[in-house]
Amino acid sequence: MLSARRILIVFSALLPIGPATIGAAQAAPRQPGELAWTIGYDPKTFDPAKVDDEESETVRYLTAGVLLRFNRLSQKVEPELAQAWSISPDRKTITFSLRPGLEFSDGSSLTARDVAWSLRRVLSPVTAAPVAEEFVSPAGVTVDAPNDKTVIVHLPQPVIAIEKVFDEIAIEPAGRPSEGRVTSGPFVVADYRRSLYVRLHRNPHFAEKDSSGNPFPYATGVRLDILENTEQEIRLLQRGDYDLIDSLPPDYFELLRKRAPALVRDLGPSLNTEQMWFNQAPSSPLPAWEREWFQSRAFRVAVSQAIHRSDLARIAYLGHATPAYSFISPANTVWYNRSLATPRTGLEAAKTGLAAAGFRLQGTVLTDAAGHPVKFSLLTNTGNAAREKMATLIQQDLAALGMQVTVVTLDFPALIERLMHTQDYEACLLGIENVDPEPNAMMNIWLSSSPNHQWNPSEKSPATPWEAEIDRLMNLQAASAMDSERKQAIDRVQQIVADQQPFIYLVYPNALVAVSPKLLGVQPAVLEPRLTWNIEQLRIQGAR
């Protein structure tokens, strides 16, 4: 995840992992009470303000002290270094009150001056902190520290879910950025060997304590081995060398389940979605009749109705995915529309809908009213086995309607060139990785003027009344201060999308993890980091 509030189209090609590449795992012996797991590559930075890649974010999460923490399990914001906070009625001023007696890992005091300095550093264009853009207009944000315990942040304009931004900002000693060596979080960076491991030590001055008054974190340290080999990772987990795997592909999950069923856990649907869509862009070089099919609601709904989503989940994800009908996953407990009405599925319903729209089945070939045979290509990215399987399953499902689908796999650069620039494609199957449950983070997909409005990018004005309504509702929820009004708007957008099927949602891949039975305190959450979000509470059995 590049940023906890960003939505990413999954650009990773997910190259197959060969069984022969055995890296230099277990480069250092485990120290008493130390937790160990793997990260896929070297963190690009240890500077918490400059984090822009997943593994750097892992280190930041483990080391950074933050004012507020977004609880991955309850999906609510909780105080951490701040004992309380308040937002003004105009939502432009946030006031934090710091806990008493805060210290950095080197024993120096942590005051409002340090907080203000850390926030200003993140907001400064010189730092080029990726998180700054989440303030929308970072240049206009000012930070005051009227006394040692109070910090006031003034925003030029209200920002939706602003509290969660502070979950990503590490509080460092004023004027002494240390790249994680001096922190106010549970751990500090103690040692880093390129391509081998990152070792973190416990921060003895961490502010939080358990209900009995014992200091957090329980673990003496964390060793993150740099290893990109899932097979070796699960072998070392089985051997007890590692304590957890935060994310597993379905085939490796099944492999481990057969070997050691007690280690694996399927947490149910993740926030991520897999979907297909048709190119409706008027500027695309497609024949006019094809564009007419793709712009037809009846055509899109019939395709959606004919796809056996349960087969996609069962076969392409070995049962570790959940059929999807909305852009918001049921794992997103706050925003998922539980009363969503979806079109009736099944082949007969699809055939009826197509016939009503003028399509005719001539022998085994479906033709439109003008006699054009319905055939199109379905693009997906090379190397993603689950997507390739889904595309082939959909090919057969749609063949039952008389549609001739050609499955084409392209490498990512070629795919993006077609999607974003030439728009020379008919249909596409890809996934969206949602790392933030906040639907406002999806504005770039739903606003018709956005270049990421994939089925018809960068519309000068909404092409259809329902796209205009989505624009209106998304803007309404972005401007509203009332959670109930926002929820109502997002529920309505979900219903419009289910009715119109501009994206035909297929599955939510499940969140798959593995945990050693010796690791205590684990409370798995669907949101990342799934197993280590409560890192301060984790410990190895018998270690204390």
Interacting residues toward another protein by CB under 8 A: 16-19, 231, 251-252, 254-255, 308, 311, 314-315, 375-377, 379, 382-383, 385, 388-389, 391-393, 395-396, 406-410, 414, 424-426
Q: Which is nearer to another protein, 21 or 142 (CB)?
A: 21
Q: Which is nearer to another protein, 18 or 213 (CB)?
A: 18
Min CB(246)–another protein separation in Å: 19
Min CB(425)–another protein separation in Å: 7
Give me the residues paired with residue 37 across strands. 224
Q: Measured between alpha carbons, how far is 366 from 347 in angstroms, rounded to an integer?
A: 14
Q: Which is nearer to another protein, 18 or 542 (CB)?
A: 18
Min CB(318)–another protein separation in Å: 9
Q: Which is nearer to another protein, 58 or 381 (CB)?
A: 381
Min CB(415)–another protein separation in Å: 11
Q: Give the tokens for residue 304.
A: 């959606």
Amino acid residing at 532: T
Percentages helix, strand, coil for the chain, rounded to the nearest 5?
30, 25, 45
Min CB(391)–another protein separation in Å: 8
Min CB(506)–another protein separation in Å: 15
The answer to whether the beta carbons of residues 314 and 323 sit under 8 Å apart is: no
Tell which residue, 62, 189, 179, has the closest CA to residue 533.
62
Q: Which is nearer to another protein, 35 or 366 (CB)?
A: 366
Give every CB contact of residue 100 below 8 A, 6+ residues apart in sequence.
83, 149
Q: Which is nearer to another protein, 297 or 389 (CB)?
A: 389
Q: Which is nearer to another protein, 87 or 410 (CB)?
A: 410
Inter-CA distances, 379 with 309, 355, 390, Å: 18, 26, 11
Task: Please give the backbone phi and psi of residue 436, each rounded to the nearest 5 degrees, phi first.
Answer: -135, 125
Give me the residues paired with residue 33 across strands. none
Q: Measured between alpha carbons, how far is 475 from 486 in angstroms, rounded to an integer?
A: 10
Min CB(234)–another protein separation in Å: 10
Q: Measured between alpha carbons, how far is 42 from 30 in angstroms, rounded to an integer?
A: 19
Q: Where are the strands (E) in 195-248, listed by range?
A: 197-202, 221-226, 244-245
Calculated CA dihedral for residues 126, 131, 137, 138, nearest 10 degrees: -40
